[in-house]
């Protein structure tokens, strides 16, 4: 049987129209009508004033930190339970990350841990330059509560919505609460441009600066003049064309992923020892990946048993992200657990599992996954 991936690209069928238009106009390099159109359409979909499309979500975070003048010796708070791309740009700027634990109701940043970290920072006379809040696997964090905490200390928020495009919090799109929001269009995301990302904001000055920095920070002059460090981060017109076609089907992809989650939930939620990532009331997760925890003491099997058995059948499954505070790269970095002697991120990493969740996965393919896991459970 063919390989069943965790989350593979799912084309709409309309991508070639935009790509051909770029070829017909000979706009194949960065900038062009697709770039402009994609930025406008992302902004419209998310009800924000504007967007800047770039080469990756990582680049978008980096540009946000640059705009905040984060530099060597500064501190930035960041969710610990995330992919390394959320935290790496802090290191790009020579700044010091402080890692914040999750809480069980969302698997995202703990307001309790964040409050302690900011209070300590205030006591020490050095508030962070920013807080990076991640919306894990499509589920929004307790964003209003977290925003209120950050606002009370005057610290700006970068909302890392790389995994939560199309998700909602109280009717408002994920990624639109912070001063900066970022999305990813990597090949495994809910929609893809093959590789790419976006920075969104309601402040036009932020977006203009981001576009300037992303285009090698070229000054306004006939000759090539540069007064500050810039980057080659602008999305190409061809790639943006793929994104425009993908964005047209985003709501459909959200419903398809939620249907995948629903079938897994119906199959396993009643089994003692299996718990799915919760969906906070008044939120709608895009369910980018179906994530759950397996307690081997209750189920008789571990998440590694499932991963290994699925691999034998050419099916990809993975543990949840390894928290940043457990990564060798961040050894010795300050970490604030949810509660003293209670690190939620450690628990989720030890027992957490992500199952194949692609929007292009057929019900028959999903039943194949469910059947293998049921066989393990019944043993």
Read out DSSP for 337-367? -SBTTB-HHHHHHHHEEEE---TT--HHHHH
- Averaged pLDDT, 135-146: 98
Q: Residue 302's pLDDT band (boundaries 50, 70, 90)?
A: very high
Domain limits, CATH 3.90.1150.10, in the chain = 251-378
Q: Where do we find the tokens 């995301």?
A: 189
User: From the centroid of its chain, how far is CA 378?
Assistant: 35
| pLDDT of residue 244 exceeding 90 | yes
> Where are the extended beta strands (E) located within 150-285?
157-160, 168-169, 172-173, 180-184, 197-201, 274-276, 283-284
pLDDT at 27: 85
Q: Residue 376's pLDDT band (boundaries 50, 70, 90)?
A: very high
pLDDT digits (tens, 9 = 90+) for 141-158: 999 999 999 999 999 999
Phi, psi of 348 (to 5 degrees): -65, -35
The CATH number given to 15-249 is 3.40.640.10
Arithmetic mean of pLDDT over the chain: 97
For residue 129, give the nearest of 177, 152, 96, 86 by alpha carbon.
Answer: 96
Note whether 26 and 237 are within 8 A (CB): no
Domain 251-378: top CATH class: alpha beta
Domain limits, CATH 3.40.640.10, in the chain = 15-249
pLDDT digits (tens, 9 = 90+) for 320-350: 999 999 999 999 999 999 998 899 999 999 9
Read out DSSP for 83-120? -GGGTHHHHHTT-EEEEE-B-TTTSSB-HHHHHHHHHH
**Euclidean distance between CA atoms 165 and 147, whole angstroms:** 19
pLDDT digits (tens, 9 = 90+) for 77-130: 999 999 999 999 999 999 999 999 999 999 999 999 999 999 999 999 999 999
Cβ partners under 8 Å of residue 328, min gap 6: none
**Euclidean distance between CA atoms 119 and 303, whole angstroms:** 37
Please tell me whether the overall predicted TM-score, pTM, comes out greater than 0.85 for this model: yes
DSSP annotation of 274: E
Read out DSSP for 127-139? --SEEEEE-GGG-
């Amino acid at each position: 049987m063919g390989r069943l991936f965790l989350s593979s690209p799912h084309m709409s069928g309309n991508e070639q129209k935009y790509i051909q238009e770029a070829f017909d106009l000979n706009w194949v390099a960065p900038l062009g009508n697709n770039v402009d159109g994609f930025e406008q359409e992302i902004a419209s979909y998310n009800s924000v004033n504007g967007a800047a499309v770039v080469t990756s979500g990582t680049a978008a975070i980096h540009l946000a930190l640059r705009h905040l003048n984060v530099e060597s010796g500064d501190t930035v708070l960041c969710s610990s339970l995330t992919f390394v791309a959320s935290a790496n740009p802090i290191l790009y700027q020579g700044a010091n990350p402080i890692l914040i634990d999750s809480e069980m109701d969302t698997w995202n940043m703990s307001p309790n841990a964040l409050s302690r970290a900011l209070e300590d920072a205030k006591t020490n006379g050095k508030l962070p330059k920013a807080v990076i809040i991640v919306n894990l696997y499509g589920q929004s964090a307790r964003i209003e509560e977290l925003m209120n905490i950050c606002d009370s200390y005057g610290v700006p928020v970068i909302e890392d919505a790389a995994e939560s495009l199309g998700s909602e919090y109280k009717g408002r799109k994920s990624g639109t609460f912070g001063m900066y929001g970022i999305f990813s269009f990597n090949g495994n995301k809910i929609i893809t441009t093959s590789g790419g990302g976006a920075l969104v904001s309601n402040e036009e000055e932020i977006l203009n600066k981001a576009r300037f920095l992303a285009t090698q920070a070229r000054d306004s002059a006939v000759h090539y003049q540069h007064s500050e460090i810039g980057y080659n981060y602008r999305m190409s017109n061809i790639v943006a064309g793929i994104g425009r076609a993908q964005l047209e089907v985003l709501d459909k992809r959200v419903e398809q992923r939620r249907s995948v989650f629903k079938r897994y939930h119906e199959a396993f939620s009643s089994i003692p020892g299996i718990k799915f990532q919760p969906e906070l009331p008044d939120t709608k997760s895009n369910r980018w990946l179906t994530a759950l925890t397996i307690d081997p003491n209750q189920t008789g099997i571990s998440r590694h048993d499932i991963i290994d058995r699925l691999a034998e059948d050419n099916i990809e499954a993975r543990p949840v992200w390894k928290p940043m505070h457990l990564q060798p790269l961040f050894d010795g970095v300050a970490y604030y657990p949810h509660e003293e002697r209670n690190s939620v991120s450690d628990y989720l990493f030890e027992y957490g599992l992500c199952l194949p969740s692609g929007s292009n996965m057929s019900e028959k393919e999903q039943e194949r996954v469910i059947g293998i896991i049921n066989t393990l459970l019944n043993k």
